[in-house]
Chain A
């Protein structure tokens, strides 16, 4: 079955510390991979995406993610977290071919930032 697993429901980091949010997927076809961020009362905003090519992708707000096919992972990283990064983060996977809109989302990881 197709699925996305985000093992960490809630993570707390200190401001300025590094961050890694984990994402593992199970998908039969070649996947597209996405990370979205959702702040309270706001819509989902795309942080970055992987379609093909370089497996290390850069996104907005200083985030990056690395696609590791052998581990079926697409972990999100940031070297130094800012208080404004506190939000909920969702990993999503979609098919390279077929219904492009049928993204499967993980349950999300809520990030809290300590001053």
Chain B
């Protein structure tokens, strides 16, 4: 009965470094989403996977951000050459087929020094 699992829960890195954030969705959920939540803001959409393919990546801010879901389950959000402005909580969510609610993980808090 596990929910959406995100690791690490906290990540502190230095400007310019590479970071990977992992999301393990609820078993059987075909859709997976990444959102970013900055301090005092609501979650902002980054990318949405249906199975293995990115169905909508319109929210990725620039080409330093990339996400994969090679086997249609676990997803990894990759951030290259991190900048201080990338500091935020990165939220992952999954959902079963069809329209409905998104089930969110607790997020990965990224701090770029």
Contacts and interface: CB of A to CB of B under 8 A. Distances in A.
30 contacts: A32-B99, A34-B101, A36-B104, A42-B106, A43-B4, A43-B91, A43-B104, A43-B107, A44-B43, A44-B91, A46-B102, A49-B100, A51-B99, A90-B43, A94-B99, A96-B99, A99-B56, A100-B31, A100-B48, A100-B95, A100-B99, A101-B55, A101-B56, A101-B93, A101-B102, A102-B48, A102-B58, A103-B45, A105-B44, A107-B41
Interface residues of A, number: 26
Contact of B45 (A32, A90, A102): A102
B40 to A, nearest CB: 7
Contacts of A96: 99
Interface of B: 3-4, 31, 33, 35, 40-45, 48, 55-56, 58-59, 91, 93, 95, 99-107
Interface of A: 4, 32, 34, 36, 41-46, 49, 51, 90, 92, 94, 96, 99-108
A105 B95 CA distance: 17
B88 to A, nearest CB: 14
B55 A99 contact: yes
